[in-house]
A and B are shown apart, each in its own frame.
Chain A
């Protein structure tokens, strides 16, 4: 079921050619030439044809992107692929990259709104966890709190489980919160958030 969506999504995205992932971009996202080449290399994993478990970074908040890259560098968030991808970059370069990708429009992820039972379960979990207290109305996030709405489902699912089971340790608050949810509730929340539309009331 999902692979079909991914294919459709990929072709949609290719047609739209998001500025940050395709070219050096300009305006808020402009980069010096050396960094521009580095930014190109991110597309292999985060670009339109990325695998379903790769997070969308174009259109995410700059502060959040910067802090994650900083954490990959320090090992505070552990992932060998990402550690390699940001190796050797200094703070200003990380911030420049973060601003560059943040300036992109958020791409459509092609996900369908979650089905009836997942939606119900997700809404009740989300209300108990007061997610919008931090992730804000529409789960759009701000600054160091990431946008969740329209993120890829497989990635959301994996990272929520990583919070819960200790694989992602750079946010103790999210880890503690997830420890109180069942794996089933987590799966429902991932599906719901990936398919979340602004017009579908939360």
Chain B
């Protein structure tokens, strides 16, 4: 199947937009019993609904493609601030707001949630999570958003709880402990809800956790199943000597096997494998697709001989049972923290035989986009490298070696977006040379466990880029260099636009076909969160959080910015 032609997508979106907008003027109950009640049907159709933004990554396929075009490449220069919302929290801001009906739900660092009028920016309610004594997290006290389902919202917290809130009032309906924060588990990701199940992974690959994806009952909070990202048996894998791009990994396999024989395989209990970001859900097959992060300890591999499955892998499991279906590993036996965090995308593309197949796209910290076959997880192709590869897979030493990409990537957690009419996928990247020094460390019981240290190379130039990759060929279609390493993510729209922000405070719009810069706004704090778009009362808004970033130390702030075309109300 070929993707729908652009004109048809736009027409469909427009039709959807007018229907709901008209309904809003008369009586919202004419079409939906209650616009604030997020039904499974609404979640399933979110990809063509221009009036709301119901998923962290726009829809279950995680395309981050907004299907309408009131704002387009011809008029985007007229984009002006519509309103701004000041939160109470001046820290790292990595969140994606959701928009349900006329309400926008926003989270901040340290797990606050706000309900805000999506047209005016006025606060409706404010929830502040009562944080437990001990939280253990790397990379900032972030929260990346809530999930919405029926009358409620779901929030994962730094003290590793899952909280259900009444969407109308912000009151707690139930909460449950997901894992023990003292051992390094924490939550920064937005959950995903499907068929009454709340899906959530865990952070902790820097602390020797055993990673997982869990499903909780949305009504009661009861645990339904747990998929461990590190299996008790079989984590040693195939003892790969090369990565999927064909580069030699420099492993001493004989030495690893000897270590396994000597020390046994019990280390699976502390092998890491966090799941940092939302899974994609294939509603046709009932499969849940996610990527798994690095093994613990990050840099010291002797503790964990073998491929360390399923770390640094794409994994598919069954939604109903949580049972394993297939996997594909991008970096076997990682000792560089070049792991996988950016959420996978389900789309279609041609395979090596010229046949159109369902495919999964993932942008990794290695700086490549991988295209995998959804029928069996196998690799169809990988992109050209999006960032320079100097010394990739140099084994870290105790004296220190230089590595590029550095430990932040490539593509960090930043979600990508696709424009399927052009078969382009958009990724933001970092260019940050680092020195890796390895050191033997025993498991420190919940303390940070890197097995060495990464340090930025002092004085070495750093930058970033926005790259459009043709996923049907793997070729780079265009690339824009940015002043600083990029973190935050992108939104593509049917208006031929791409929105993304930078650590220096610029929020920018590009022509998604060519990369030409069309519009910009200076936010006075790092814009390091994924943008979203929606339509309320006939007006399209583009919204983004501007609060900087802890991990890259970009200037902090506490503002949500909303834009619309000038002269509209």
Task: Point out residues on A near B: beta carbons under 8 Å.
Answer: 62-63, 66-67, 95, 99, 124, 127-130, 132-134, 136-137, 142-144, 170-173, 176-177, 179-180, 202
Nearest chain-B residue to A136 (Cβ)?
B550
Q: How many whole Å from B475's CB to the nearest CB in chain A?
A: 34
Known: A63-B133, A144-B134. Is A176-B450 also a contact (CB below 8 A)?
yes
Q: Which parts of B99-126 form the interface with A (CB within 8 Å)?
A: 110
Nearest chain-A residue to B448 (Cβ)?
A173
B348 in the interface (beta carbon within 8 A): no
B138 in the interface (beta carbon within 8 A): yes
Nearest chain-B residue to A67 (Cβ)?
B134
Indicate the size class of the contact surface on chain B: 35 or more
Q: When the two chains form their complex, are residues B553 and A133 in contact, meaning their CB atoms are under 8 A apart?
A: yes
Q: How many whole Å from B184's CB to the nearest CB in chain A?
A: 10
Known: A95-B133, A128-B455, A130-B456. Is A176-B437 also a contact (CB below 8 A)?
yes
On chain A, the residues within 8 Å of B385 by CB distance are: none
Contact partner, B135, options A129, A134, A142, A177, Cβ 8 Å: A142
Contact partner, B91, options A63, A136, A171, Cβ 8 Å: A136
Contact partner, B553, options A62, A66, A127, A173, Cβ 8 Å: A127
Additional A-B contacts beyond A127-B456, A176-B452, A180-B400 (16; CB < 8 A): A63-B134, A63-B135, A130-B456, A130-B553, A133-B551, A143-B136, A170-B447, A171-B444, A171-B447, A171-B448, A172-B450, A176-B437, A176-B441, A176-B450, A177-B453, A180-B455
Q: When the two chains form their complex, are residues B450 and A136 in contact, meaning their CB atoms are under 8 A apart?
A: no
Q: When the two chains form their complex, are residues A180 and B435 in contact, meaning their CB atoms are under 8 A apart?
A: yes
Main secondary structure of the interface of B (DSSP, over half): loop
Q: When the two chains form their complex, are residues B400 and A143 in contact, meaning their CB atoms are under 8 A apart?
A: no
Task: Point out residues on B near A: beta carbons under 8 Å.
Answer: 90-92, 110, 131, 133-136, 138-141, 158, 400, 435, 437, 439, 441, 444, 447-450, 452-453, 455-458, 548, 550-551, 553, 556
Contact partner, A137, options B439, B444, B455, B556, Cβ 8 Å: B556
Known: A137-B91, A173-B453, A179-B453. Is A124-B140 also a contact (CB below 8 A)?
no
10 closest A-B pairs by CB: A173-B448, A176-B453, A143-B135, A172-B441, A63-B134, A177-B453, A128-B458, A137-B556, A132-B553, A128-B456
Nearest chain-A residue to B299 (Cβ)?
A176
Known: A172-B447, A173-B447, A179-B437. Is A133-B453 also a contact (CB below 8 A)?
no
On chain B, the residues within 8 Å of A171 by CB distance are: 444, 447-448
Nearest chain-B residue to A102 (Cβ)?
B133
